Amino acid sequence: MTRARVRVALADDHEIFRDGLRGLLESEPLIDVVGEAADGYAAARLVREVQPDVLLLDVAMPKMGGFEALSSIAEGPTRILLLTAGIDRADLLRAIRLGARGVVLKEAATRELIEAIFKVMDGKYIIDENVAEELAQAIHGVRTPRFGLTPRELDIVRAIVAGASNKEIADSLRISPQTVKHHLTSIFEKTSATSRLELALLAIRHGLVDSPPG
């Protein structure tokens, strides 16, 4: 399959970082950097005017922060990846709920960032391995049935987002591993998720999970 070119915009208040990132991305033949912004207001305006395929959005920016910018543009067609030095559980959950397609740490290798851009273009969610554990700890129980999931399927989703293996799910629910696999097939078909991580992110995005108090 021939991959289409991806139009990427950058939003970060550090000019030196933007310059370096632009240079790295433009070394990829299938990526075009189509605009830059140094604050949240400019980022929101850039997305409206240029409509990039992907926006790399810093969380901490002047005038309008990354989360405020995210909430103002997330309903459009542009896929938003947060690019940050670090993020805690609460902000990670907030970002996904506001419409971010994932988080990549600024220290990530260039190839990792480029692959993340292509993955979000393919409809995937991206969570850097260094913050994936924060996501797992933040997720706590499915609260509202959605997507036509049965009560048993919701039990399995709850176990998955808690990080349980198929064997652990089977043992806790007193069913066979084969039955767990059968339910998982149904869950993935109903939700269109393609992996356990994507299912967890989808649950957060649609308000199906609560984070632990505090």
Q: What DSSP letter does each residue of the chain carry, written as one string?
A: -PPPPEEEEEE-S-HHHHHHHHHHHHTSTTEEEEEEESSHHHHHHHHHHH--SEEEE-SS-SSS-HHHHHHHHTTSS-EEEEEES---HHHHHHHHHHT--EEEETTS-HHHHHHHHHHHHTT--EE-HHHHHHHHHH-EEE-S--TT--HHHHHHHHHHHTT--HHHHHHHHT--HHHHHHHHHHHHHHH---SHHHHHHHHHHTT-EEPPP-
What is the layout of strands, in order, in the sheet containing 79-84? 31-37, 6-11, 54-57, 79-84, 102-105, 126-127
Q: Using alpha carbons only, how large is the chain's radius of gyration in Å?
A: 18
**pLDDT tens readout for residues 64-85:** 777 777 777 766 788 888 888 7
Q: Residue 86: which residues within 8 A CB-CB, separation 6 or more?
A: 105, 131
**pLDDT tens readout for residues 31-59:** 999 999 988 888 888 998 999 999 998 87
Residue 57 φ then ψ, to 5°: -115, 120
Of 1.10.10.10, 1.10.3720.10, 3.30.70.150, 3.40.50.12280, the CATH number of 139-210 is: 1.10.10.10
Low-confidence ranges of the chain (pLDDT < 50): 140-144, 211-214
Question: Number of C-alpha atoms within 13 angstroms, CB side, residue 163?
Answer: 9
pLDDT number for residue 31: 93
User: How many angstroms separate the CA atoms of 83 and 47, rounded?
Assistant: 16
pLDDT number for residue 74: 66
For the chain, domain boundaries = 6-136, 139-210
Fold adopted by 6-136: Rossmann fold (3.40.50)
pLDDT number for residue 204: 67
pLDDT number for residue 124: 77
pLDDT number for residue 59: 79
pLDDT number for residue 109: 64
Domains 6-136 and 139-210 share a fold: no
Strands 126-127 and 54-57, by their bridges, are unpaired
pLDDT number for residue 61: 76
